Amino acid sequence: MKKVTVLLLAGLLALSGCGESRPADETVPEETAQSAKEEEKETEQAVTQEEETVDDPTWEALESLGMVETENGLFYVSITLPAEMAGTEVTQESINANAGETYTSGKLNEDGSVTYKMTKAQHKAMLEQLSQTIDDALKEMSESGEYAISEVTHNDDFTSFDVKLTGDDLGFAEGFMTIAFYMYGGMYSIFTGKKKDITVNFYNASGEMINSASSANAGE
C-alpha distances in Å from residue 8, one per residue of 55, 84, 161, 220: 23, 14, 17, 26
pLDDT band at 103 (very low <50, low <70, confident <90, very high): very high
Global confidence as pTM = 0.70
Q: Specify burial of residue 164 (Cβ count, 10 A radius: 0-12, 13-18, 19+).
A: middle
Quick: pLDDT tens for 111-164. 999 999 999 999 999 999 999 999 999 999 999 999 999 999 999 999 999 999
What topology is assigned to 123-215 in CATH?
GMP Synthetase; Chain A, domain 3 (3.30.300)
CATH 3.30.300 maps onto the chain at: 123-215
